Chain A
């Protein structure tokens, strides 16, 4: 009884590709619970985090590649519009109004005789600025408030939940018409400010939910049992495990902020000329839709493509980060 022909303690250290095996094995058995079937975690041996797994996934996903290319291109032209469009978007020549495609103006001219191609290229800057800044603001404010509420719970949580309910009840377009019509500054900042004001509760809810989920994991208890402080638990253990849904929702929200800017500008309360924005152009072109549809088509197309790219990116990121598919 006392002597065994092997050493059970040392024997467990896996040899070769042992690392992830029993995971693969156990998953086949629990198929009802984890759709997607058994999965190996690939060749073991090199260290791999969930983030690098996600990146490996993304790199092979054509949806991600296409949307990322579109977005990179957008960022590029909003930084250096003159690289692909010569002339100023504000230099218009009424004599060329509503003219079609021609050399120097591949998209033709709009009702005011402005070069549609140049204006569409320059309009990207506004959209990207509004989208990125509003998203950043919303993500920072929303996830900070949401995680605190989720982490500490109790009264602060009930209070935050009621506040988000109130904000959800405000109709976005109507709120924009009322609030922005009293603003005199003709820059992107009031528009961004308005979006952050109305947008943060959505992120706060997501962040709160995923913090509560992450908080219930045993590793949080383990850290607490070791004596870790609240800030350490939040930063080291909860945030990295709760951030994925926030990233996904924020990416998709970025697209909707760009549409919202166009909508508000179209309604005349967002940006106003002499700013250049797709919304302004769509608004200006709509009366001439019969005679010069191209002046409406190009900025609308650019808008649609941009929003689509961000939504597709969000989808791809969600698929890559979703642990259920892993």
Chain B
């Protein structure tokens, strides 16, 4: 593996629950992120998937220093950035930028596109000399596929997909090395999603970027990611290369998640096994003991209530070198193919 650019270990974020009006008392905590470890190699894309409330967006905020972790460390090129402040923090921020989910709230409606994309240069004046900024903004617009003539327009004059491009241009302005994209296409129309995914793909090679790509759409994550981590209730339950996760999942939650995704192929309707989980995700204020997935797991046994399964290669696969030998936090990890093999031929021979 190439040298890691980000190393996350033991990352924890609790939000205290307070009661009282003037004199507040802590009555509990929302355990949004509860012990997350991963590394991101240079030039790599790590996909993080999970359902709402699993803590994936909080991870994004922690990576971008928008929140301070309760515990754990985030190392950028070996330096822990979680304890930085002031000038040092600003310097790190140049290197890790974020792309937001909602293109309608992530751009200030009172600023022109030029001001929005140029703002990074005002905050970091050393990044570009004053006289050169306008030209750079035009260049960025061109890079993300927008007409540079639109520099004086306001965000509400653009469509969702175009706004997302503006947000991406702002993220690129400081030439960061890491981009954290939090559901960057889920608010867009299907026909526009592919355009933005292609753009992100192209920019990655053009600017030598490393991505943390957070989404709930499993097929898009698979398309863009080199490695994929599956989160459940504040933790990564399984992580590995994309084929390992999608074709050889060993954690029951991953298997259920994959089998629940509707497949755009009516032929697969009958001969496709679906694992329908019962119940809902437990509240992050009250996480089950032992394995946090056990309340919805069909394999759960007594051991699961006592022992927290570690995120490691499960024992039975340790001696093998096959694709099932990847990190999975389950006491009873077992391979199970849930995604039907691609229908031969499919519908298309490509566009006419």
Contact = CB atoms under 8 A, between A and B. Distances in A.
Q: A and B: real partners? A: yes
A158 interface: yes
A283 interface: no
Contacts of A290: none
A91 interface: no
A48 B167 contact: no
Interface stretch (A3-11, A80-88, A197-205, A294-302): A3-11
B103 to A, nearest CB: 9
Interface in B89-112: 89-90, 93-94, 97-98, 100-102, 105-112
A164 to B, nearest CB: 14
Interface stretch (A19-27, A70-78, A129-137, A273-281): A19-27
A19 B124 CA distance: 30
A23 B119 contact: no
B153 interface: yes
B201 to A, nearest CB: 10
A15 to B, nearest CB: 9
B162 A12 contact: yes
A8 B154 contact: no
Nearest to B65: A225
A242 B98 CA distance: 24
Given A158-B21, A217-B105, A219-B106, A13 B154 contact: no
Nearest to A13: B147
B157 interface: yes
Given A225-B65, A226-B120, A1 B108 contact: no
B94 A49 contact: no
B140 to A, nearest CB: 14
Contacts of A20: 156-159
B321 to A, nearest CB: 31
Interface string B65-87: 11000000000000000000000
Nearest to A26: B160
A85 to B, nearest CB: 44
A273 B154 CA distance: 54
A12 B145 contact: yes
Contacts of A228: 119, 123
A306 B344 CA distance: 78
B5 interface: no
A219 B105 contact: yes
Interface of B is mostly: loop
Interface in B131-172: 145-147, 150, 152-154, 156-162, 165, 167, 170
Nearest to A50: B109
A221 B98 CA distance: 9
A151 B94 CA distance: 24
A239 to B, nearest CB: 9
Nearest to B147: A13
Nearest to B90: A227
Contacts of B108: 217, 219, 223, 236-237, 240-241
Contacts of B158: 19-20, 23
B22 interface: yes
Nearest to A6: B351
Contact of A19 (B22, B123, B157): B157
A231 B199 CA distance: 34
Interface string A19-37: 1111100100000000000
Contacts of A49: 110, 112, 154
A232 interface: yes
Contacts of B123: 223, 226-228, 232
A79 B165 CA distance: 52
Contact of B154 (A9, A48, A218, A219): A48
Contact of B110 (A5, A19, A50): A50
B124 A227 contact: yes
A222 interface: yes
A64 B42 CA distance: 59
Given A12-B165, A47-B153, A222 B106 contact: yes
A41 B157 contact: yes
A162 B22 contact: yes
Most central of A12, A14, A221, A237 by chain B CB within 10 Å: A12
A59 interface: no
B219 interface: no
B46 interface: no
A225 B66 contact: yes
A219 B195 contact: no
Contacts of B156: 20, 23, 41, 50
Interface in B307-352: 350-351
Interface in B166-186: 167, 170, 174
A171 B321 CA distance: 80
A226 B271 CA distance: 50
A224 interface: yes
A48 B119 contact: no
Contacts of B195: 8-9, 12
B223 interface: no
Contacts of B272: none
A179 interface: no
B161 A22 contact: yes
Contact of B167 (A51, A217, A222, A237): A222
A44 interface: yes
27 contacts: A8-B198, A9-B145, A9-B199, A9-B202, A12-B146, A12-B161, A13-B145, A13-B146, A14-B162, A19-B150, A20-B159, A22-B161, A22-B189, A23-B159, A44-B153, A44-B157, A47-B154, A158-B21, A219-B107, A221-B66, A222-B107, A223-B119, A226-B123, A227-B94, A227-B123, A241-B108, A241-B110
Given A50-B156, A226-B119, 8 more contacts: A4-B351, A41-B157, A218-B100, A222-B106, A222-B107, A225-B65, A226-B124, A227-B90
- The 8 tightest CB contacts between A and B, nearest first, are A22-B159, A218-B106, A227-B90, A240-B110, A227-B93, A47-B152, A19-B157, A219-B108
